[in-house]
């Protein structure tokens, strides 16, 4: 599967997203904001960062970049589109998702390993998770508070568009603790936390399940069928622990199962984003 990752001026996490796609066993395709060509990709990722310096509103200028015409058309035709952090902001500004993202209620930048609850699994990006499953994904934002009008909130909740909610303290002050949304068809998903930062053994948040930060791989970019990418989880064959001799890629891979399901659809051997 060819997954396009779009770079805008000020994008920060495009390389991380490309790496996550590669670890998931897919082919990352670098796309530039100024083009009108998606180069025949099968899915799209709008990565995090500070596009155009967050001027006007976060994602507002990027949502009007030339390539976004193609992104909107592709999304309306059913192509899987994932917006992460600044990418989520772009999706709301492009009206592919409802509501908007504004300054955190505390007024400060938040960075933490965040527990999320999966609220909807009938999307192209979350169909390998279980309803109600809790995962740990890094969060880092200053304008991550989801807001919407009362009528929009009623529609979002009534139509089951919430994909992820924050568990425990709401880090941004988002309405209904909303961390991520999908459109009605389920091919467009946006979330504030960063699954591309939870894709490699020993480098992501470590959970009580000893997964060592693979919840991002376990759900987003792997397919459960030829048309779908997924965010789901894969169990380890044994608990993961690091010793000075464990850092070769071969020894790290030996600590995870060899099946290939995950978030980014991440699977090297095994991941899904």
Look up 197 and say whether it is catalytic: no
Residues 219 and 272: their CA atoms lie apart, in Å, by: 5
Look up 194 and say whether it is catalytic: yes
Residues 255 and 127: their CA atoms lie apart, in Å, by: 24
Residues 230 and 238: their CA atoms lie apart, in Å, by: 23
Active-site pick, 85, 93, 200, 220 = 85
Active-site pick, 119, 196, 220, 223 = 196
Active-site pick, 26, 194, 197, 223 = 194
How far out from the chain centre does Cα 31 lie?
18
Cβ contact 272:169 at 8 Å: no
Just list the catalytic residues.
85, 194, 196
């Amino acid at each position: 599967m060819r997954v396009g990752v779009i770079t805008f001026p000020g994008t920060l996490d495009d390389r991380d997203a490309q790496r996550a796609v590669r670890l998931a066993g897919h082919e990352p395709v670098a796309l530039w904001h100024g083009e009108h060509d998606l180069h025949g990709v099968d899915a799209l990722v709008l990565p995090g960062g500070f596009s155009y310096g967050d001027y006007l509103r976060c994602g507002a200028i990027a949502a009007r970049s030339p390539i976004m015409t193609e992104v909107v058309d592709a999304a309306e035709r059913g192509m899987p589109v994932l917006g992460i952090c600044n990418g989520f902001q772009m999706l709301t500004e492009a009206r592919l998702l409802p509501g908007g993202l504004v300054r955190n209620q505390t007024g400060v930048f938040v960075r933490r390993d965040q527990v999320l609850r999966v609220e909807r699994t009938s999307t192209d990006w979350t169909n390998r998770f279980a309803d109600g499953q809790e995962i740990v994904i890094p969060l880092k934002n200053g304008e991550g508070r989801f807001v919407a009008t009362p009528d929009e909130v009623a529609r979002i909740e009534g139509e089951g568009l919430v994909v992820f909610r924050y568990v425990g303290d709401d880090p941004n002050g988002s309405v209904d603790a909303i961390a991520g949304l999908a459109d009605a068809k389920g091919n467009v998903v946006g979330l504030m936390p960063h699954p591309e930062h939870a894709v490699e053994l020993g480098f992501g948040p470590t959970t009580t399940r000893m997964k060592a930060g693979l919840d991002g791989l376990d759900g987003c970019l792997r397919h459960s069928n030829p048309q779908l990418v997924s965010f789901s989880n894969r169990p380890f064959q044994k608990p993961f622990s690091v010793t000075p001799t464990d850092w070769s890629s071969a020894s790290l891979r030996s600590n995870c199962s060899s099946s290939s399901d995950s978030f980014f659809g991440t699977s090297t051997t095994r991941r899904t984003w």
